[in-house]
Structure 1
Amino acid sequence: MNSKAKSKSNVQGFGNFLSGMIMPNIGAIIAWGLITTLFIGTGWLPNKELESMVSPMLTYIIPGLIAYQGGKLVGGNRGAVMGIIAATGVIVGSDYVMFLGAMIIGPVAGWVIKKFDEAVEGKVKAGFEMLVNNFSIGILGMILAIIGYYLVGPFMGAILSVLDSGVQFMVKNSILPLVAIFVEPAKVLFLNNAINHGVFTPLAVDQVAEAGKSIMYLIETNPGPGLGVLLAYWMFSKDKVTKTSAPGAIIIHFFGGIHEIYFPYILMNPILLLSTIGGSLAALLYYTIFNLGLAGPASPGSILAYLGMAPKGSTIAVLFGAVIAAAVSFVISIPLIKRANKKSSNLEDATMKIKEMKAESKGLGNTPINKIIFACDAGMGSSAMGATVLKKKLKEAGLSEIEVEHASVSEIPKDAKLVVVHKDLAERAAKSAPEAKLVTITNFMAAPEYDMVVDDLKKLYSQIH
Structure 2
Amino acid sequence: MIMPNIAAFIAWGLITALFIPDGAVNRINPDWAPFSALVGAMVGPMVTYLLPLLIAYTGGKLVYDVRGGVVGAISVMGVIIGTSDPLFIGEDGNASPMFLGAMIMGPLGAWCMKKLDALWDGKIRPGFEMLVNNFSAGIFGAIAALGSMFLLTPIMNLFTYVAGVIVEFLVNTGLLPLTSLIIEPAKILFLNNAINHGLLTPLGSAQALEQGKSILLLLETNPGPGLGILLAYMVFGRGTARATAPGAAIIQFVGGIHEIYFPYVLMKPQLIIAAIAGGMSGIAVFQIFGAGLASPAAPGSIIAILLTTGQNTYLGVILGVAVATAVSFAVASVILRFSKQSEDALAEATAKMEGMKGKKSSISSALAGGTAAAQTTIAKIVFACDAGMGSSAMGASVLRNKIKDAGYGGDVSVVNSAINNLKDEYDLVVVHEDLLNRAQTPTPSAMHVAVDNFMGSPRYDEIVELIREQREGDGGSGDAVPATAGAGTAAAEGSAAPAAGSSGGAAPAEEPGTGADAAPADSGKQILSAESIRLGAAASTRDEAIDEAGELLVGTGAVDRSYVAAMHERESSVSTFMGNGLAIPHGTNEAKSAIHDSAMSFIRYDQPVDWGGQEVKFVIGIAGADGQHLGLLAKIAKIFSKKESLAQLEQAQTPEEILEIFGKVNA
Compute the TM-score of the two structures, normalised by the length of structure 2.
0.51
Of 318-327 and 259-268, deviating more is 259-268
Indicate conservation of the 8 Å contact 2:294/2:308, yes or no: yes
Q: Match for residue 297 of structure 1?
A: 296
Q: How far apart in 2 are the matches of 1:87 and 1:457?
A: 48
Compute the TM-score of the two structures, normalised by the length of structure 1.
0.72
Q: How far apart in 2 are the matches of 1:387 and 1:353?
A: 13
Q: CA deviation at 1:294?
A: 1.7
> Which of 37, 47, 54 is the matching residue for 1:48?
37
Q: CA deviation at 1:242?
A: 3.6
Q: How far apart in 1 are the matches of 2:427 and 2:295?
A: 36
Q: 1:76 to 1:86 in 2, by over 3 A?
A: same
Structure of greater Rg: 2
Q: CA deviation at 1:240?
A: 4.6
Q: CA deviation at 1:252?
A: 2.1
Q: CA deviation at 1:351?
A: 8.7
> Which of 55, 66, 72 is the matching residue for 1:66?
55
Q: Match for residue 205 of structure 1?
A: 205
Map 1:31-46 → 2, pairs under 5 A: 31-46=11-26
Q: Match for residue 456 of structure 1?
A: 481
Q: Match for residue 9 of structure 2?
A: 29
Q: Quick one: which amino acid aligns to residue 333 of structure 1? A: A
Indicate conservation of the 8 Å contact 1:193/1:378, yes or no: no
Q: Quick one: which amino acid aligns to residue 308 of structure 1? A: L
Q: How far apart in 2 are the matches of 1:278 and 1:232?
A: 14
The two structures, once aligned, show a CA RMSD in angstroms of 3.8
Map 1:55-454 → 2, pairs under 5 A: 55-95=44-84, 96=95, 97-237=97-237, 239-340=238-339, 343=340, 345-348=341-344, 350=345, 377=357, 382-384=361-363, 386=365, 413=424, 417=428, 452-453=477-478
Q: 1:198 to 1:149 in 2, by over 3 A?
A: closer
Of 198-207 and 126-135, deviating more is 198-207
Deviations 1:239-285 (A, max 9, x none): 35443333222222222222223223222222222211111111112
Q: Quick one: which amino acid aligns to residue 59 of structure 2? A: G
Q: Quick one: which amino acid aligns to residue 318 of structure 1? A: V
Q: 1:376 to 1:457 in 2, by over 3 A?
A: farther
Query: How many equivalent pairs are there?
Result: 380
Q: How far apart in 2 are the matches of 1:415 and 1:351?
A: 21
Indicate conservation of the 8 Å contact 1:230/1:262, yes or no: yes
Q: 1:99 to 1:248 in 2, by over 3 A?
A: closer
Q: How far apart in 1 are the matches of 2:196 and 2:293?
A: 13
Deviations 1:281-332 (A, max 9, x none): 1111222333322223322222112212212322232111100101111222
> Could you say what secondary structure the match of 2:2 adopts?
helix
Indicate conservation of the 8 Å contact 1:22/1:198, yes or no: no
Structure 2 gaps, min length 5: 27-35, 85-94, 374-383, 386-421, 430-442, 447-465, 490-578, 581-667
Indicate conservation of the 8 Å contact 1:65/1:84, yes or no: yes
Q: Match for residue 7 of structure 1?
A: none
Q: 1:352 to 1:87 in 2, by over 3 A?
A: closer
Q: 1:439 to 1:307 in 2, by over 3 A?
A: farther
Q: 1:243 to 1:83 in 2, by over 3 A?
A: closer
Deviations 1:152-181 (A, max 9, x none): 234322321221121111111111211212
Indicate conservation of the 8 Å contact 1:375/1:421, yes or no: no
Q: How far apart in 2 are the matches of 1:150 and 1:352?
A: 48
Structure with the larger RCO, 1 or 2 (CA within 8 Å, 6+ apart)? 1
Q: How far apart in 2 are the matches of 1:256 and 1:144?
A: 38
Q: CA deviation at 1:70?
A: 2.1
Q: How far apart in 1 are the matches of 2:270 and 2:231?
A: 16
Indicate conservation of the 8 Å contact 2:241/2:346, yes or no: no
Q: 1:39 to 1:113 in 2, by over 3 A?
A: same
Indicate conservation of the 8 Å contact 1:86/1:141, yes or no: yes
Indicate conservation of the 8 Å contact 1:417/1:437, yes or no: no
Q: How far apart in 1 are the matches of 2:147 and 2:259?
A: 40
Q: 1:453 to 1:307 in 2, by over 3 A?
A: farther
Q: Match for residue 595 of structure 2?
A: none
Q: How far apart in 2 are the matches of 1:214 and 1:439?
A: 53
Deviations 1:415-450 (A, max 9, x none): 65359979xxxxxxxxxxxxx97999xxxxxxxx99
Indicate conservation of the 8 Å contact 2:257/2:301, yes or no: yes
Q: Higher helix proportion, which one?
A: 1
Q: How far apart in 2 are the matches of 1:438 and 1:82?
A: 46
Q: Quick one: which amino acid aligns to residue 245 of structure 1? A: T
> Could you say what secondary structure the match of 2:338 adopts?
helix
Q: CA deviation at 1:116?
A: 1.2
Q: Quick one: which amino acid aligns to residue 457 of structure 1? A: P
Indicate conservation of the 8 Å contact 1:421/1:438, yes or no: no
Q: Quick one: which amino acid aligns to residue 169 of structure 1? A: F
Q: 1:123 to 1:353 in 2, by over 3 A?
A: closer
Q: CA deviation at 1:111?
A: 1.9
Q: CA deviation at 1:458?
A: 6.0
Indicate conservation of the 8 Å contact 1:67/1:105, yes or no: yes
Q: Quick one: which amino acid aligns to residue 244 of structure 2? A: S
Indicate conservation of the 8 Å contact 2:71/2:110, yes or no: yes
Q: CA deviation at 1:201?
A: 2.8
Q: How far apart in 2 are the matches of 1:135 and 1:458?
A: 49
Q: Quick one: which amino acid aligns to residue 9 of structure 2? A: I
Deviations 1:192-249 (A, max 9, x none): 3444334433443322333333323212221111222222232344x35443333222
Q: 1:109 to 1:260 in 2, by over 3 A?
A: closer
Q: 1:144 to 1:264 in 2, by over 3 A?
A: closer
Indicate conservation of the 8 Å contact 1:23/1:378, yes or no: no
Q: 1:186 to 1:162 in 2, by over 3 A?
A: closer
Indicate conservation of the 8 Å contact 1:196/1:220, yes or no: yes
Q: Quick one: which amino acid aligns to residue 302 of structure 1? A: S
Indicate conservation of the 8 Å contact 1:34/1:295, yes or no: no
Q: How far apart in 1 are the matches of 2:289 and 2:469?
A: 47
